[in-house]
Amino acid sequence: MFAAPQTESVALADALGRVLARDIPADRDYPPFDRAIRDGYAVRGADTYSSATLRCVGELKAGDTPTAAVEPGTCIQIMTGAALPDGADAVVMIEHTQRSGDIVQLDRATKPGQHVVLRGSEQSASQTVLGKGTRFLCSEIAAAAQVGAAAVTVYAKRRIGILSTGDEVVDFTSVPGPFQIRNSNSASLAAQVQALQAEPIALGRANDTCDDLRDKVAAGLRLDALVISGGVSAGKYDLVEPVLRDFGAELIFDAVAIRPGKPVVFAICQGKPVFGLPGNPVSTMVTFDLFVRPALEILSGAEPGPLLFMEAALVNRLSEKPGLTHFLPAKAEYGEHPLVTPLAWQGSGDIMAMTRANCLLVVPPDRETIEPNERVLILPRGLW
């Protein structure tokens, strides 16, 4: 539905979090040779069934070129990472041997293939190592480095407009009046966008008037996507939905059965995805992660990652209003098994409670109370 982003080349050192736009091929087989993965002796596996004694005829360390072959009745001492010599098909771990002079005594037989990773078994030279659409995490950086991809072609960062609404909201660099509040949502949303390796574009704040909101939404629609905070509830000054309709937006949904965050607007407006998130700061952060993050991942050319829930045992009894799925700030601890304790909080405006939480505890909509020791799902916090 959305055109693929532009592409650009970046140094591998700058690729963390970026999305690969061109397949990276293997430059050779991996491993490039039959590799010993233990320190010990390279042997012919079949020999070890007939005799427990072998004669050691040489030594190979990682990086050496094997010159001699392992003939029947002999072995070669070998270190982890070295290439298996001709004739050998297994490694006997040093711990299972005793040596005196060049005679090696084995305390057990070893089957062919033992402690050896065959050439090309991890990756064959004809295959793609990393396919386009892959996001660079540490392991992808290692894979690209392994095949010598010093520069990689990635999708250009999407430009995401961030707009806060509310007459009471002032820039966080200024001193608020007695009944005003600083704009924390623009800051947290920008950080969440950056954590996805997209580019936040600050559109500031709109007053709770249709005219001001319209001007700022128009600016946002020139970008790749727009995220608005506040102004989506049912109050007299919640004007995001009517203004989006003025722009001819197709509203996909405007409420979700969760708390925090019941009013969440998702619309397609002039071909651009637009999100209206509730203004309460914890709601803004949580609904971004649940709804905006997957959308921005798709927009960035990546596969959306699943929400990776974990199970933990509840420490204290919990009771919540049924009918909604609750995401409560909570603290998980890992002992013999994971435990989770919901934190005291004052509701979805309580940013400070979120800073003490390392996960969200999920209370399903059909549960009014959950007893201690019951298993619940938790959603560990990532970089947000």
Residue 157: CB minimum distance to ligand AMP, A: 23
Secondary structure class of 151 (helix, strand, coil):
strand
Nearer to ligand AMP, 58 or 279 (CB): 279
260 contributes a contact to ligand AMP by CB under 6 A: no
168 binds ligand AMP (CB under 6 A): yes
Decide: is 273 part of the binding site for Mg ion (CB under 5 A).
no
Q: Which partner in ligand AMP, Mg ion, none is near 280 (CB below 5 to 8 A by kind)?
A: ligand AMP
DSSP 366: T
**Burial status of residue 310 (CB atoms within 10 A of its CB: 0-12, 13-18, 19 or more):** middle
Q: How far is the CB of 238 from Mg ion (least distance, A)?
A: 6
Those residues with Cβ within 8 angstroms of residue 139's Cβ, 6 or more apart along the chain or in another chain: none
Site for ligand AMP contains 167 (CB under 6 A):
no
**Partner interacting with residue 168 (select from Mg ion, ligand AMP, none; CB below 5-8 Å by kind):** ligand AMP
Question: Cβ distance 354 to 282 under 8 Å?
Answer: yes
- Residue 229 touching ligand AMP (CB under 6 A): yes
Distance CA 329, CA 323 (A): 19
Nearer to ligand AMP, 77 or 164 (CB): 164
Torsion of CA 63, 69, 73, 76, to 10 degrees: -10
- For residue 229, the partner it binds in ligand AMP, Mg ion, none, with Cβ less than 5 to 8 A by kind, is ligand AMP
Residues of this chain, 317-346, that bind Mg ion according to CB under 5 A = none
Member of 281, 301, 329, 342 binding ligand AMP (CB under 6 A): 281
Task: Write down the residue that tokens 């790749």 correspond to.
Answer: 224
Q: Which of 5, 31, 40, 230 binds Mg ion (CB under 5 A)?
A: 230
Q: Is 192 in the site for ligand AMP (CB under 6 A)?
A: no
Three-state DSSP class for residue 333: strand
Q: Which long-range contacts (CB under 8 A, 24 or more apart) does 168-175 make?
A: 169/205, 169/230, 170/205, 171/204, 171/205
Q: Taking the complex as a whole, how short is the minimal distance between the CB of residue 268 and ligand AMP, in angstroms?
A: 22
Q: Binder to ligand AMP among 74, 164, 287, 300 (CB under 6 A)?
A: 164
Residue choice 74, 134, 280, 300 for contact with ligand AMP (CB under 6 A): 280
- Give me the numbers of helices (H) and strands (E) for the chain, helices first please: 8, 28
- φ/ψ of 354, rounded to 5, equals -65, -35
| Dihedral angle of Cα 359, 361, 362, 368, to the nearest 10 degrees | -170
Pick the binder of Mg ion from 166, 200, 260, 276 (CB under 5 A): 166
Which residues of the chain form contacts with Mg ion (CB under 5 A)? 166, 230-231, 279
Binding interface with ligand AMP (CB under 6 A):
164, 166, 168-169, 181, 183-186, 229-231, 233, 235, 278-281, 349
